[in-house]
């Protein structure tokens, strides 16, 4: 039986390279005020499969999601990433998967795209700042990639690291952004292997735009948004809990687990309700695990007030 693993294309060939380069030159020469979000749209991802994990809630618009987000490597204001990441170069790109694995290796973005059929997954996305959105991400379960390297029995956690290059990210300095770089995150191995944990290569049926974590990121829908690390270059299987950027900066406010929990407030604001963008008021009740009850068994017996 022939099993088709995914679309047979190179990342750089989704849009012809000449068109891609001409578009970059055009965008670089146009004043920002004339740039609508649709001009800079990424390339289409072919043959997306529908996912059984998708919510049926109303999706937010592409314009909102790509112009209101956090990516401190490109600025700390919500509108900064869309302005400052426009010329971010993501080709060539490799993700090194290493550590406690029988077959550690590096994956090119082209190899990542062909590992499995890419699904359209509409997820609720909850920010620790008490706002939320609904986004149609594109990707497949992170477990697919991790199984390729065969985690060893001693591996209990997965560490992630974002790309960091001051030539492309001049704002990614501690004295400007207020955090250390490169950005790092981590999950327990069983969390990383849960089918809801998404290795994401696109959104709205297209490749990821630079400001949203191109060319590959993590989306963990039952955790607060800062756990969904962007522009991944390294994944490491380890035996002990790895460092996580916001937990390192202020462990009192940002726990390692950071599961969405309406009963555990941020020290400076309540988490019981959220503001569903583009709404103005926090009148949307926050759901435990952001409504993804499928993961509850991962935390059976744990004190989720202590391990927040």
Percentage of residues of the chain with pLDDT beyond 70? 87
Quick check: 300 pLDDT over 80?
yes
Residue with tokens 């099993």: 3
Q: How many domains does the chain contain in total?
A: 1
Question: Does residue 308 fall inside a structural domain?
Answer: no
Sign of CA dihedral 160, 173, 226, 200: negative
How far apart CA 245 and CA 85 sit, in angstroms, is 21
Full residue range of the structural domain in which residue 17 is found: 11-299
CB count within 10 Å of CB 123 equals 26
Question: Does residue 1 fall inside a structural domain?
Answer: no
Question: Does residue 6 fall inside a structural domain?
Answer: no
Closest to 45 in 3D by CA, of 112, 128, 142, 124: 112
Please, where are the H alpha helices in 178-289?
189-192, 245-249
Question: Does residue 179 fall inside a structural domain?
Answer: yes
The model's pLDDT over 127-147, given as tens digits with 9 standing for 90+, comes to: 999 999 999 999 999 999 999
Quick check: 26 pLDDT over 90?
no
Mean pLDDT is lowest, of 36-40, 233-237, 266-270, for 36-40
Question: Does residue 69 fall inside a structural domain?
Answer: yes
Sign of CA dihedral 73, 227, 78, 22: positive
Question: Does residue 35 fall inside a structural domain?
Answer: yes
Three-state DSSP state, 190: helix
Three-state DSSP state, 263: coil
Question: Does residue 15 fall inside a structural domain?
Answer: yes
Question: Does residue 306 fall inside a structural domain?
Answer: no
Q: Indicate which CATH number applies to the domain containing 15.
A: 3.90.420.10
136 dihedral zone (left: phi>0; alpha: psi -120 to 50; beta):
beta
């Amino acid at each position: 039986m022939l099993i088709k693993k995914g679309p047979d294309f190179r990342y750089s060939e989704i849009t012809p390279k000449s068109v891609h380069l001409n578009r970059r030159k055009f965008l670089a020469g146009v004043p920002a005020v004339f740039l609508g979000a649709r001009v800079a749209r990424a390339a289409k991802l072919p043959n997306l499969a529908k996912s059984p994990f998708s919510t049926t809630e109303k999706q937010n618009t592409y314009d909102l999601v790509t112009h209101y987000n956090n990516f401190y490597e490109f600025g700390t204001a919500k509108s900064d990433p869309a302005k400052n990441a426009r010329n971010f170069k993501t080709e060539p790109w490799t993700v090194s998967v290493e550590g406690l694995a029988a077959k550690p290796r590096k994956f090119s973005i082209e190899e990542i795209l062909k590992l499995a059929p890419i699904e359209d997954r509409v997820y609720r996305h909850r920010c620790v700042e008490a706002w939320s959105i609904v986004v149609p991400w594109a990707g497949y379960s992170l477990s697919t990639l991790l199984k390729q390297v065969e985690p060893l029995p001693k591996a209990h956690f997965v560490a992630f690291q974002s790309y960091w290059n001051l030539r492309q990210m001049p704002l990614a300095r501690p004295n400007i952004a207020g955090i250390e770089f490169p950005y790092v995150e981590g999950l327990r191995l069983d969390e990383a292997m849960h089918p809801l944990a998404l290795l994401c290569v696109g959104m709205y049926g297209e490749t990821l735009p630079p400001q949203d974590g191109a060319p590959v990121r993590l989306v963990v829908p039952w955790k607060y948004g800062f756990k969904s690390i962007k522009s991944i270059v390294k994944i490491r299987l380890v035996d002990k809990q790895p460092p996580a950027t916001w937990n390192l900066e202020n462990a009192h406010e940002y726990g390692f687990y950071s599961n969405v929990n309406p009963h555990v407030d941020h020290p400076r604001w309540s988490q019981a309700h959220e503001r569903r963008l583009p709404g103005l008021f926090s009148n949307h009740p926050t759901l435990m695990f952001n409504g993804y009850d499928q993961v509850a068994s991962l935390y059976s017996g744990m004190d989720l007030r202590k391990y927040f």
